[in-house]
Amino acid sequence: MNKSIYKVLVIVFSFSLGVLVLDCTLENNVFGAEFEFPEELLSQEVEWEKCEFDEAQKKWRKAECAYINVPLYWDNPEGETITIYVKRLRSLLKARKQMWWLDGGPAYAGTAHFPPFMQDIAQLDWRIDLYTLDHRGTGYSERLSCPEQETDASEEGVWLTENEWDECIEHLEANYNLDAFTVTEAAKDVGFLVELLKEENKEIFVYGVSYGTYWSHRYAQIFPNQANGIILDSLLPSDVQGEQLEILGNNVAKDFFDICKEDEFCRIKMGDDPWEKANEIFEKFKDGHCPEIVENGLTPEYLQQLAFSALYYWDLRILLPVFYYRIDRCSEEDVSAFKHLLDDFLSQLASPTTRLYSDALFYHIVLSELMSDDLMPVDEMKKIDETLLATEHLVANKLLPLHFLLFGDY
């Protein structure tokens, strides 16, 4: 399975299936007084150039793109600068709103990932100017990279492995000011871009998805009065503990199977307690039931990853009960169906813009800002991970071991 299916964004999309719209009328800014930008930054001339709106669908109309200067450190606005890459799709009519899209991951490139979804919104309301950007440290916004560890010939291509971390970390520390690549600095980038590009008589809305909701929340804390509203889609709570991500994702899987219980057809197939039934089938599968499916590439560990990632995709989510029902029945047709799923369908979900994602920034943000101070031992997390119906094994196999490597015993 291509890792982009379950790694990019899915870390938090599974937390919530809903959308929350916030009215930005906060009276108190927990970060202090309203943030002000130096006039010399606000007076810079933005040079927009025509660019592809959607790299995968070039027949669609063109967008505009620009590199905009921001300080490396916002508390030193006259110091070193970096550029943030911004893409916009202007309304063909007289726009009444600006909508800013903040992507997830963390560390996915909004200018590459969001256009298909932005296109849907544009077709629903032609009076919106749509904007998105690449979070500092990813995409075309000073992407954090480890070139030798991200080549096609490396262990997992653009994805960083345990064997590559030592040299990658050495490269990152030698070539980047890593303490400048934070959620707060990125939130101030958004506030500045909104202020720089706002237009008279246009309301401003900020839309965040997955980690983008965490980013949007930080933005709202610093700029409580700038936007007219904030849309939070697939929430990453502001008090999240990174090591709980997959445990919480597994809880969402349980919620989904509880919905199966309320559906007559699903209940006929999976019984009065579909969640318990799915877990029983998973244990049978781990004990060797239906080896023909394993021969086609679906190991128990892979099934856990597939269940976790399916929660993100609307068209895969409804198949969750089907996976376990077919594994339990294990007919020739069931084996053939899984082979088709693995060989044909899932391969089409691979992102064409993977190399704009930064695995280095992903780990940097998660390890430095989302982990708690009271971490469980790796062995304990591995035991829990083995019992989860839905997990991508990220916490047990990468986040906690890497945290131990960087920060020592906990």
CATH number for the domain harbouring residue 13? 3.40.50
In terms of domains, do 267 and 318 share one?
A: yes
Does residue 341 lie in a domain region? Answer: no
Structure tokens at 319: 């198949």
In terms of domains, do 179 and 114 share one?
A: yes
Mean pLDDT for 226-241 is: 90
In terms of domains, do 92 and 213 share one?
A: yes
What confidence tier does 399 reach under pLDDT thresholds 50, 70, 90? Answer: very high
Q: For 100-109, what is each residue's pLDDT tens digit? A: 999 998 989 9
Phi/psi of residue 54, each to 5°? -130, 110
Q: For 134-172, what is each residue's pLDDT tens digit? A: 999 999 999 999 999 998 889 888 888 889 999 999 999
User: What pLDDT score was predicted for residue 61?
Assistant: 80
In terms of domains, do 276 and 264 share one?
A: yes
In terms of domains, do 256 and 322 share one?
A: yes
Range among 3-17, 336-350, 380-394 with highest mean pLDDT value: 380-394
Does residue 284 lie in a domain region? Answer: yes
Does residue 392 lie in a domain region? Answer: yes
268-271: long-range contacts at Cβ-Cβ below 8 A with a sequence spacing of 24 or more? Answer: 269/321, 269/325, 270/321, 270/324, 270/325
In terms of domains, do 20 and 133 share one?
A: yes
Reduced to 3 states (helix: H, G, I; strand: E, B; else coil), residue 51 is strand
In terms of domains, do 54 and 89 share one?
A: yes
In terms of domains, do 31 and 168 share one?
A: yes
What confidence tier does 32 reach under pLDDT thresholds 50, 70, 90? Answer: very low
Residue 344 has pLDDT above 60, yes or no: yes
Burial class (CB in 10 A: 0-12, 13-18, 19+), 59: exposed
Residue 234 has pLDDT above 90, yes or no: no
Domain end call among 192, 211, 240: 240
pTM, 2 dp: 0.87
User: What pLDDT score was predicted for residue 345?
Assistant: 65
Residues 6+ apart with CB under 8 A from 223: 34, 35, 187, 190, 191, 194
In terms of domains, do 121 and 249 share one?
A: no
Domain end call among 220, 240, 260: 240
| Number of compact structural domains in the chain | 2
Q: In this predicted structure, which of 208-222, 235-249, 278-292 has the lowest mean pLDDT?
A: 235-249
Residue 403 has pLDDT above 70, yes or no: yes
Domain end call among 210, 240, 270: 240
Residue 215 has pLDDT above 60, yes or no: yes
Does residue 109 lie in a domain region? Answer: yes
Residue 352 has pLDDT above 90, yes or no: no
In terms of domains, do 207 and 148 share one?
A: yes
Phi/psi of residue 350, each to 5°? -60, 135
In terms of domains, do 175 and 56 share one?
A: yes
Does residue 349 lie in a domain region? Answer: no
User: What pLDDT score was predicted for residue 1?
Assistant: 35
Does residue 368 lie in a domain region? Answer: no
Does residue 351 lie in a domain region? Answer: no
What confidence tier does 246 reach under pLDDT thresholds 50, 70, 90? Answer: very high
Mean pLDDT of the chain: 88
User: What pLDDT score was predicted for residue 34?
Assistant: 65
In terms of domains, do 222 and 253 share one?
A: no
Query: The domain containing residue 125 runs over which residues?
Result: 3-240
